[in-house]
Structure 1
Amino acid sequence: MKKYSTARSLCVPFTFALAALPAAVVQAQEQTVLEEVIVTGVPAGGATKLEASVSVSSVGGDELIDFAPRSAAELFRALPGVRAESSGGGGNANLTVRGIPLATGGSKYMQIHEDGLPVLEYGDINFGNTDNWLRADWTIARIESIRGGSASTFASNSPGGIINMISKTGEEEGGSIGVSMGLDYDEFRTDFEYGGSLTDTIHYHVGGFFRDGEGVRDTGYNGENGGQLKANITKEFEDGYLRLYAKHLDDRVATYLPSPVLVEGGDSYGAVPGYDASSQTLQSQQTNNFTTFDQFGNPVRRSLADGIESKVSAFGFEFEKSLNDQLTVRNKFRQSDISGGFIAPFTDGFAGGTASIADKGAELCASASVAGVGLDCSGGVTALIDGQPADGDQLAYTNLLFDTKIHDLGLFVNDLSFSWENTSGLAISGGLYYSKQAIKTSWNSWQTRMQTLDGSNSRNITYLANGAGIDENGNAVDVVLADNGALTQSFLAWNWDLEYTTFAPYINVGFDVGERMRFDVSARHDEVEARGQRLDGCCGGNTPIDLNGDGSVGQFAVDGGVITRLDSDALLENPGATSAGFIAGGVRVLNSSNAATTNVNYDADNTSYSVGGTFLLTDASSVFARYSDGGRAIADRLTQVGGSLRPDGSLTSTTDGFDNVQQLEIGYKHVGENWSAFATFFNTITEETQAELTSGLTFVREYEANGIELEGDFNFSDSFVVRGNITWTDAEITDDATNAAVVGNTPRRQADFIYTLIPEYRNARLATGLVLQGSTDYYVQDNNDLKQEAYVLVNAFFNYDVTQDLTAYVNVNNLTDEFVITESEEGSAAVGSFIRARPLNGRSANIGITYRF
């Protein structure tokens, strides 16, 4: 009869990959499956899938092409229980799991790791979503995920779970090189990877990619450009190993923020006249370059083509050594330098729908004034595009540019651990975790522009009043919008300069009860030291302010919220004379001497724990149960939650600096001769302290979710297999400190069912199939009014071995071209009106060829 053992060699858990093999091969490897070891979110040394009292899944690196991914987040959608909203493009995705809320963006409760260490300590940093700083390529051996369970005690700030991207290390000699390109979109990409041995005890792996092109959606310029290089080298010892690794990412991708979408009725949505948000963008070559101001009032030239700019240089090492037959010590270290930027148009001004160019001009002229004197619009308004009269019937929209520079999101992290096990089944493991996360980000002035609503070539609009206004010098002024479309040059500017240091000791004790039962209990104590400040250029009120201290406000300050004159070239030639801000009608101040300062100077701590056990029913099946309580430090978004920090930066009584997640899980696992099944019931209670930049709302809430997560595969024959997963979730908002009306409602974007189904046919040379990823309907906001209807996304793949070493493939993402929104700024809307929403990508097809050697 099989006994438990946690000290095993690090095998590869290919649950999905094995399901893709012929049934005969699966049967031959059945015992191997039972012995395979998972390494994510479990005690040091790993545990087999049947032994572990957690829910864990894995996707093999060779399968990545089959999922037809256009971003890393689209790969994560295939993982059970994971809700991955990939509507932001190559980055800026929203991720959560098992009914845990997505009150705003990013991945707050589920951490993303590379090779066992976090990419960022906090997954919801403003404009710094974790997936901005990683890329999926052929260097990945597999992607593991653990949902709930001991993730809360074996990693900081991950009470919902962990997604771990594990790299190839070159144990097997060989590699591959390939090229791919879009069939119906502009992108060319080349990938390569190679691994092998230098000696009997030294092996290595190197790989990466480079791409160039417009991207999946039309931008009018090179929206995607850059690549990644990764390398590692491992020295094996008789009793351990030392591995050194490095990564350099320098990549730029377009990102898509909420933009105009038509409400068609029946919980369905579509393209507005002249603009399809699922395949087009409001970025364009004509609006690409502009002048703005940084957080200190200095003029800056910017380009929309920068999009999400991701620069990462990281190096680290892993070390493992057995000190004797029972005791093993391990250490993982990584230093990452992370910087870049985030720039994209955000649509504003949809009170009742988008107006025509003529209507927008009349509205602006009627509200504009210069030095308190209203403009005379009796003679009408002239709209100009490129200096020529515009078609007044064409639709126009107000563009609020999100323009952020990421100066430093660098992460220093070290995890020192040990494991000890005796022959009677008692195993003790633990360690000390240390990290230092920088958050140094500036939001340049929130420049507001008026543009045409045109998906192929959006252009700036300039309005002229046919009457006259008078400036502060008594001169006539006839320009309502200046700088070729600028409504105002200075609406908001923030600067975050923060640092979070985490120190966390942790321990796990596991023991056998007889030959078929194992229990474990683990705990982690996180201590967080938060230091820094946020400069907030908000809110200047209606009084002009002398920003540069020259004794005069100058010609660039107004009272009506509309800039009347601005010469960008003059600004750059003589920036000191500009005052660099326009203070009126709530326009923000862009100078540190006038800015409000939010200090951050506190220490916070939290103890997480997890208790679980597994009973082996047979050699091929088991049941488990687990209860966990894990914490997540709130980090930079706490500075936006009013009343949470005192003037000196210490915490008030309204928060302890952490949000907690409590989870109960009961599960069943089985691996048979031609089928496998994994089922988990979960109950999750989540605290949420959060702030949303676009709406200015804050959330101090509690949520509860119950659900069932199913994962499995069935081999119908040697060549046909079906695999997949489905998760049912019943979630509700159970408490809200500021808005009692939403209590009892379903959280935004939470569907009752989400699922992935993959039927696949394989023979000696061909592999083809479908990836069906679907969802039942869900509310797009917490008021539970506006819904997205149920949908199924169909991805198709076709791989053919031209020779033993050469494979050609075609994959199609969203084959049926479904129009699906993941989020909306509006929670209610009339049929026929426009909302601001982010849809998933429309249909896109990719072709490629791979040579293995």
Structure 2
Amino acid sequence: MQTNRTSACRWLLAGVTPFALFAAGTAANAQTAPQDDAQAAADESQADIVVVGTAGGGTRRQDAAFAVTSLGAEAIARAAPNSTADLLRTIPGVSAESSGGQNGANIFVRGYPSGGDAQFVTFQLGGVPFFPPPTLSFLENSQLIRLDETVERVEAVRGGTGSLFSNGQPGLTVNVQQREGGDMLKGFAKLSYTDYDEVRGDAWISGPISQDTTFMVGGYYAQGNGIRDPRFRAEKGGQVTANIRHDFDGRGSVLIYGRYLNDHGQWLLPIPVVQDGSKISQFANFDHGTGALASRDTRITTNNAGRTVDLADGRGAKIGNLGLSFDYELVDNLRLRERASYLWGTANTVGLVPTDAPMSAADMAVALGGAGSTVGSLTFASDGAAAPGETQVMRAGIWDVRKRIDAFVNDLALEFSAGGNKLTGGFYLANYTTRDTWALGNDVLLTAEPNARRLNLTLGDGRVATRDGFTSGDSFLVSGRYEGRDIAFYAVDELQITDKLRVDGGLRWQRHEVTGDVATSGAAFDRDGSAATLYDRTVQLGRANRIDYGGSRWSWTVGGNYDFTNQVGVFARYSRGNSFPQFDNLREGLTLISKVDTYEGGLKVSTPLVNLYATLFHNKFDGLATTQIINGVPNESVGGAKATGVELEGVIRPFAGFSIAAAGTYLDGTYRGFFSGNGTIDNTGNRVQRQPKWMWRVTPSYELEVGNFRPSIFATLQYTGDRFSDPENAQLLPNYYQLDAGVSVEVNQRLKLAVTGNNLTDELGLTEGNPRIIGSQGSGTILARPILGRSFRFSAAYSF
């Protein structure tokens, strides 16, 4: 790993140094061009420019021949996201579940079949993928980046040209664009506090270093116990971002940036709820919006293998990131673009993972000891006191997953423009590694209540079922070292045929290689060999196997955009994209390359009164291969799907200060030739899991001036339709509504006070059933993951 990191650092420094020296040399001779009115107008319209889904130069959203969403700082603030993934709820065609906390999101796109995480979502910073594999088990891209006040805007392209650029993501590519400095010194500071006792501070400062060189530095720090309070400090950390930009007298620019993230939070998992058909209710006193199974008693444990695990480590990342973006016109009509990034650090996951729904102690005795087993004694593990006979109990595993990752990404492109033709050719290189150590299983016996306590159980025949609460040892182990490498060449031609008609087409060839050594669970055994002790059944690590994979594929797209006027246009596009097998699939011997064909067309309207973007799409998906942890063991799911849908988003401004923004999706996505349960269950015709037919959100807002004050109010009502948690369509997730709202007041041009509320009606909406079983959970008490409960955030911000 150290060798890979050193090598990648050398590559990055080799790339940065010539551009940095060039910037320094040019700065000595550059003259500042006066900013005329046209330039000022261009700056004001910058929010309408999107970079994602393009060869790097950017385009107006109204001119884009693909489905793209752009969210500025104000739109992000009004969305009031609880996490990075939570912001994606605002994007049509995307179903984002952020009920897992700051990390551990599940994100689904346009009917693409996926079992969880974010298999078809890539996050970029400044047009460069943060970590090229979009998802590994226990690691998805949104875990590696936080939204804070240093973010200027977020862009997201669905399908379209995404399969040509960056890492060739055919699903959703999200680009986070950071703030940069200007010709004036500016600063911002904000302090916020929640009703669940989280304190957070955000700040940034930016300005000129010289006539052509600017800087920005900022970040945040936060700490708290979280909405689902485990009674210990579960949320803690921050992020720092800095950049320097130099402009080359109108011919180009270079941006060099660095980012450090050290943040972790509780990994939120299913809790007990009661289901009666489509009716969901709370289980006993386990509050559906704030209840947490974790507690001080479960926080630090030492399992049967002697490993001590602290649940306060939670799920998060401790990573550094260095990068640059260089854009320069070498000669007239010929531009060079270079973007590079190096990331390194850790992304660990520690959590309390429920194994079964609450039951009586007598039923648990049978589950652990076999038919006819009875309860001899039931005591609290912490002090030995007897537990009440009517105590409801359940099991949960203490899972410990450690990942050390690094990645070097380089994207070099040349753009030639002549008349109405723009031709771009590029080379993409990514080298990335991960070192995985997993210990799953390690079930503990708990009281079925919020902030549960560990229990010890002795059976009526004298057999000991637990040790310090543990009912078992490891059920699945992984020790692996992987290295991946992607090389791609791409070419895109954009041709302006008439003033109104523009067509484009492009090709990408990509080679994907993975090598590594991985050992997983070997034979099960009884640690002490005694039938009198049941708690030490475990598995041991097997022999390491070699992974050596290589595959290549072509992707392509063709599209056209026709503008009836500069405010009304239409587009149409066909694209073929591919998704290569990553480390986890290859560990299980799954080498299928996913193939996605997408047909889409849309209408775009941009006027002072209304903005409207409507897209009709159809996907054909073949070659999905994924694994799901069932009873602590990976189970394979393989096959395809098809989906047809409509995406709508827009805003209407009927009078000054008032607007109504809305977004909605209709999706008809079904499996075809899709088998789960290691090929034993045919799900053809079932609806694609976790993605509803209907989703929509409406956000009215009103801003006015009252003397020296400028109050603003907004609200968002979101609807999420019926879904199924599993591909077998046996675990129903009923529809629900969520209401968020906020109010802010600009006291003057410097001070702004605000309060936002999430889930104001404290809705019990489920985002996940029990993903660790196949089939129905039945009726009554089940395991499921609800959305977070009602919460409020108060903030005061000062800018200069």
**Normalising by the residue count of structure 1, what TM-score does the alignment of the two structures yield?**
0.84
Cα shift at 1:34: 10
Structure 1 partner of 2:430: 435
Aligned to 1:262: 274
Deviations, residues 296-337 of structure 1 (Å, cap 9, x unaligned): x6x332101110131011111111110112000011111111
Q: State which of 604, 629, 643 in structure 2 corresponds to 1:693.
A: 629
Q: Which moved more, 1:822-831 or 1:284-293?
A: 822-831
Are the equivalent residues in 1 in contact too, given 2:673–2:682 (CA < 8 A)?
no
Look up the match of 1:672: 607
**Residue 419 (1) aligns with residue 360 (2):** no
> In the superposition, relative to structure 1, how do residues 537 and 779 fare at CA in structure 2: closer, same or farther (>3 Å)?
closer
What do residues 765-791 of structure 1 show as CA deviations (whole Å, max 9, x unaligned)?
A: 011110222222222222224322222
Which amino acid is the alignment partner of residue 405 of structure 1? R
Deviation, structure 1 residue 186:
2.0
**Is 1:302–2:253 an aligned residue pair?**
no
Other-structure match for 2:540: 589
Displacement of 1:195 after TM fit? 1.1
Alignment-derived partner of residue 716 in structure 1: 654
How far, CA to CA, are the matches of 1:674 and 1:449 in structure 2? 59
- In 1, the alpha carbon distance for the partners of 2:174 and 2:726 equals 27
| Structure 2 counterpart of 1:447 | 442
Q: Which residue of 2 aligns with 1:192?
A: 203
SS of residue in 2 equivalent to 1:328: strand
Distance in 2 separating the partners of 1:730 and 1:364? 43
Tell me the residue number matched to 1:78: 90
Q: Offset of 1:663 from its aligned partner?
A: 0.5
Q: How does 1:557-596 map to 2 (within 5 A)?
A: 557-558=529-530, 562-563=534-535, 582=536, 584=537, 587-590=538-541, 595-596=542-543
The secondary structure found in structure 1 opposite 2:768 is: strand
8 A contact 1:523–1:608 mirrored in 2: yes
Structure 2 Cα separation of the partners of residues 54 and 664 of structure 1: 11
One-letter amino acid matched to 1:525: W
8 Å CA contact 1:728, 1:753 repeated in 2: yes
TM-score using structure 2 length: 0.89
* Alignment of 1:502 onto 2:502: no
Alignment of 1:762 with 2:703, yes or no, is yes
CA distance in 2, matches of 1:668, 1:617: 11
- Distance in 2 (CA, whole Å) between partners of 1:35 and 1:279 is 37
Q: Which moved more, 1:92-101 or 1:754-763?
A: 92-101
The one-letter code matched in structure 2 to 1:538 is G
For the Cα contact (< 8 Å) 1:488–1:561, is it kept in 2? no
- Select the residue among 702, 714, 720 that pairs with 1:775: 720
1:659 alignment counterpart = 594
Distance 1:34 1:231, change over 3 A: closer
| Aligned-partner Cα distance in 1 for 2:642–2:655 | 42
Structure 2 distance, partners of 1:55, 1:701, is 26
- Note the C-alpha offset of 1:365: 4.5
Task: Tell me which residue corresponds to 2:23.
Answer: none
The corresponding residue for 2:787 is: 840
Q: Say whether 1:61 aligns with 2:68.
A: no
Give the whole-Å Cα distance in 1 for the aligned partners of 2:465 and 2:57. 68
> C-alpha separation between the residues in 2 aligned to 1:360 and 1:464?
11
Q: Pairwise mapping of residues 464-475 of structure 1 onto structure 2 (< 5 A)?
A: 464-465=458-459, 467-468=461-462
Going from structure 1 to structure 2, the CA distance change for 1:285 and 1:35 (only over 3 Å counts) comes to closer
Q: Does 1:121 align with 2:66?
A: no
- Counterpart of 1:769 in 2: which secondary structure? strand
**% same residue:** 27
Aligned equivalents of 1:488 and 1:409: distance in 2?
Answer: 30
SS at match of 1:335: strand
Q: Are residue 480 (structure 1) and residue 439 (structure 2) matched?
A: no
Q: For 1:65, give the aligned amino acid.
A: A
Are 2:300 and 2:311, in contact at CA under 8 Å, matched by a contact in 1?
yes
1:31 to 1:228, Cα distance in 2 relative to 1, 3 A? closer
- Alpha-carbon distance between aligned partners in 2 of 1:287 and 1:750, rounded to the nearest angstrom: 34
Partner residue, 2:143: 132
Which residue is 2:239 aligned to? 228
CA distance in 2, matches of 1:382, 1:37: 64
Q: Secondary structure at the match of 2:523?
A: coil
Asked if 2 retains the 8 angstrom alpha-carbon contact of 1:383 and 1:461, the reply is yes
Residue pairs, 1:755-834, within 5 angstroms: 755-764=696-705, 765-825=710-770, 827-831=775-779, 833-834=780-781
The counterpart of 2:528, out of the listed 556, 559, 568, is 556
Cα RMSD, aligned residues only = 2.2
Structure-2 residue corresponding to 1:463: 457
Taking a change above 3 Å as real, the CA distance of residues 35 and 121 of structure 1, as seen in their structure-2 partners, is closer
Q: Cα distance 1:523–1:378, how it changes in 2: closer, same or farther (>3 A)?
A: closer
Please, which runs of 5 or more residues in structure 2 have no aligned partner? Answer: 1-39
Contact 2:602 2:615 in 1 (8 A): yes
Q: Quick one: structure 1 residues 846 and 32, their matched pair in 2 at CA, closer, same or farther if it must change by over 3 Å?
A: closer
**Deviation digits for residues 623-648 of structure 1 (CA, Å, limit 9, x no counterpart):** 11100001111202213545x4xxxx
Cα 1:665–1:379 change in 2 (3 A) is closer
C-alpha contact 1:365 1:381 (8 A) present in aligned 2: no
Alignment of 1:210-249 (within 5 A): 210-238=221-249, 239-249=251-261
Which whole-Å CA distance do the structure 1 matches of 2:568 and 2:674 have between them?
Answer: 42
Distance 1:446 1:41 in 2: 42
- Deviations 1:397-450 (CA, angstroms, capped at 9, x unpaired): 1111221111x2211111111111012x11100211111121211112521110
Q: Which deviations, in whole Å up to 9, do the C-alpha atoms of 1:687-734 show, x marking residues without a partner? A: 311111246331111110001111111111102110121111111111
| Residue matched to 2:30 | none
Task: Give the Cα–Cα distance (whole angstroms) in 2 for the partners of residues 66 and 31 of structure 1.
Answer: 23
Shift of 1:37: 2.6
**What is the alpha-carbon distance in structure 1 between the residues aligned to residue 74 and residue 210 of structure 2?**
26
The 3-state SS of whatever aligns with 1:639 is helix
Q: Does 1:491 align with 2:475?
A: yes
Question: Which whole-Å CA distance do the structure 1 matches of 2:55 and 2:347 have between them?
Answer: 35
State the match for 1:278 in structure 2: 289
1:679 maps to amino acid: A
Quote the Cα distance in structure 1 between the aligned partners of 2:338 and 2:41: 32
- In structure 2, which of residues 113, 120, 132 is the aligned counterpart of residue 109 of structure 1? 120
User: How far apart, in 2, do the equivalents of 1:162 and 1:450 lie?
Assistant: 42
Report the equivalent of 1:13: none
Q: Which residues in structure 2 correspond to 1:28-47 (within 5 Å)?
A: 36-47=48-59
Task: Give the direction of change, closer, same or farther, for the CA distance of 1:739–1:708 in structure 2 (3 Å limit).
Answer: farther
CA contact (8 A) 2:127 2:166 kept: no
Q: How many equivalent pairs are there?
A: 745
* Mapped contact 2:208–2:214 kept (Cα < 8 A): yes
Partner of 1:348: 355
Post-superposition Cα deviations, 1:827-846, rounded to whole Å, max 9, x if no partner, equal: 42443x22222111111111
Q: Which runs of 5+ in 1 are unaligned?
A: 1-27, 369-376, 470-478, 545-554, 564-581, 645-654
Counterpart in the other structure of 2:394: 397
Q: Write the letter of the residue equivalent to 1:393.
A: E
Q: Would the aligned equivalents of 1:270 and 1:276 in 2 still touch at CA under 8 Å?
A: no
Contact 2:121 2:141 in 1 (8 A): no
Structure 1 residues 468 and 780: alpha-carbon distance in aligned structure 2, compared to 1, 3 A threshold: closer
Residues 177-224 of structure 1: CA deviation (Å, up to 9, x unaligned): 0111112x1211000011111111011111100011101211110010
Q: 1:108 to 1:510 in 2, by over 3 A?
A: same
For the 8 Å contact 1:512–1:519, the answer to whether it is kept is yes
Indicate the structure whose relative CO is greater, using CA pairs within 8 Å and at least 6 residues apart: 1
Query: 8 Å contact 2:115–2:689 — kept in the other structure?
Result: no
Structure 2 CA distance for partners of 1:438 and 1:561, relative to 1, 3 Å: farther
Looking at secondary structure, tell me which structure has more strand per residue: 2
Structure 2 residue identity aligned to 1:759: P
Secondary structure of 2:545's partner? Answer: strand
Counterpart AA for 2:731: L
Is the deviation greater in 333-342 or in 222-231?
333-342
Cα contact 1:286–1:458 (8 A) shared by 2:
yes
